[in-house]
Amino acid sequence: MYASDPAALTDGRAARSESSDRPPEPTDPLLDRVGDTPLLPLRSVARSSSFELWGKAEFLNPTGSVKDRAALGIVRDAYARGRLGTGRTLLDASSGNTAVAYAMLGARLGFPVALVLPRNASPDRVARIRGYGAEIVYSDPLEGTDGAQREARRIATAEPDRYFYPDQYNNPANPNAHYRSTGPEIWRQTSGRVTRFVAGVGTGGTISGAGRYLKEQNPRIEVVGVEPASPIHGLEGLKHLPTALRPSTYDAAIVDRTIRVETEDAQRMVRRLAAEEGLVVGASAGAAVHAALSSGADAPGAVVVTILPDGGSGRPEERG
Ligand SMILES: Cc1ncc(COP(=O)(O)O)c(C=O)c1O
């Protein structure tokens, strides 16, 4: 029925019905909408700063977060290596956004998906993941994403023929996706004027990949990581690295310094971004903008770019 549609020819289901043992890499018009997000001036919240502040609107990706980039990069790489599209189930750990992205890609391309999430993952995300038809395995909420990682590894190791475990925390395809897309977009969108790049650290894929690309263009660009101030926090998607399993996707050599943000400061900034900039974003975006504004005075003409990883409810006081 769709034989004349080039997208269908590279759909995972179509690929599996062909005799080749390595399915073609997926292409699809929806996947073309991952990345190339607008870079928005944040004039109001930065009105008393010495620099221009810009935020990359990652909530405009197809599933609403920056993690579409990493998930698509990981899935494309897996198809290229023949690890996906052959009937195996993709199984990974996530705090929520990567899980939603994988679940959408699985539904769209036709591969089964199972996700390990801490039991306190947001009910909205859990409902979306189930809606895409993916399976959910819960891990101990007190162990956060570290516990989810351990559980995913245990399940995948027990049944290696059934599961493909991409391990977003240790998969170079994650930072490489940002090296190939996020970094070049920021460089192009600022016409090479960016002087500081501020980004939250979860897997570290965004900051390491985009930061590496930006430093290659101009080694004087400062790269600033944003982490929660304490191990127990409300900044979904971010890791407190001193007390967490350190992901190999985080490249410490790229990060010049780290700013630690309290959940309350991030939530205050979430409210300001809605009221003053018309942007409804999640807590990690509030943390990133708060950190960017407190990242220090700069020479006139300095251009600070940060990432707004996902959208929010607009009612930060109601977020769990
Ligand atoms: C809301 C949110 N912000 C920030 C991040 C951090 O991005 P990265 O994993 O590229 O470090 C994530 C990652 O899961 C996230 O979900």
Q: Is 309 in the pocket of ligand 1 (CB under 6 A)?
A: yes
Q: Is 98 in the pocket of ligand 1 (CB under 6 A)?
A: yes
Centroid of ligand 1 to alpha carbon of 29 (angstroms): 25
> Rounded CA gap, 126 and 141, in Å?
14
pLDDT at 21: 63
Both structure tokens of 229: 């101030």
Please classify residue 164 by burial: count the beta carbons closer than 10 Å to its beta carbon, then call 0-12 exposed, 13-18 middle and 19+ buried: buried
Give SS3 for 223. Answer: strand
* Sign of the dihedral defined by the CA atoms of residues 289, 291, 296, 298, in that order: negative
Domain residue spans of the chain = 31-65+172-318, 67-164
Decide: 54 and 306 in contact? Cβ < 8 Å. yes
Centroid of ligand 1 to alpha carbon of 182 (angstroms): 13
Nearest CA to ligand 1 atom 15: 237
Range 189-213 burial, b when 16+ CB lie within 10 A, else e: bbeeebbbbbbbbbbbbbbbbbbbb
pLDDT at 18: 42
Nearest CA to ligand 1 atom 14: 237
> Rounded CA gap, 197 and 270, in Å?
19
> Rounded CA gap, 74 and 95, in Å?
17
pLDDT at 301: 82
Q: Is 295 in the pocket of ligand 1 (CB under 6 A)?
A: no
Range 102-130 burial, b when 16+ CB lie within 10 A, else e: bbbbbebbbbbbbbbbbeebbeebbebbe
Give SS3 for 51. Answer: coil
> Rounded CA gap, 86 and 112, in Å?
10
> Rounded CA gap, 251 and 249, in Å?
6
Both structure tokens of 198: 């501020």
CATH 3.40.50.1100 fits 67-164, yes or no: yes
pLDDT at 297: 78
| Ligand 1 atom at minimal distance to the Cα of residue 282 | 1
pLDDT at 5: 32
Q: Do domains 31-65+172-318 and 67-164 have the same CATH topology?
A: yes
CATH number at 31-65+172-318: 3.40.50.1100
pLDDT at 144: 87
Whose CA is closest to 49, among 310, 311, 307, 306?
Answer: 306
pLDDT at 85: 87
Q: Is 202 in the pocket of ligand 1 (CB under 6 A)?
A: yes
Pocket test for ligand 1, best of 58, 68, 206 (most atoms within 8 A of CB): 206
Cross-strand pairs, 89: 163
Digitized pLDDT (tens) for each residue of the chain, 320 residues in all: 233 233 332 333 333 434 456 667 778 999 999 999 999 999 999 999 989 999 999 999 999 999 999 999 999 999 999 999 889 999 999 988 999 999 999 999 999 999 999 998 889 899 999 999 999 999 999 998 899 999 999 999 999 999 999 999 999 999 999 999 999 999 999 999 999 999 999 999 999 999 999 999 999 999 999 999 999 999 999 999 999 989 999 999 999 999 999 999 999 999 999 999 999 999 999 999 999 999 987 777 899 999 999 999 766 554 43
Nearest CA to ligand 1 atom 6: 202
Q: Is 205 in the pocket of ligand 1 (CB under 6 A)?
A: yes
pLDDT at 22: 67
